[in-house]
Amino acid sequence: MQLVESARDKWELCFEERQELLPDSATSIMSTR
């Protein structure tokens, strides 16, 4: 489970960076999910 948690943390960090670069796109992706 640690691998899954670490991967999830990495994904969250990458997603946060993407939100800063493309807030509109990130928002649309979040709404889609």
Summarised one tens digit per residue, pLDDT across range 8-23 is: 888 887 777 766 666 5
Domain parsing of the chain, residue ranges: 2-32
**Residue 6 token pair:** 């670490």
pTM above 0.95, yes or no: no
CA distance 5 to 27: 23
**Residue 17 vs residues 2, 28, 30: alpha-carbon distances, Å:** 23, 15, 14
Check pLDDT > 70 for residue 7: yes
Distance CA 31, CA 1 (A): 27
Q: Give the CA radius of gyration of the chain.
A: 11
Residue 1 carries which DSSP code? -
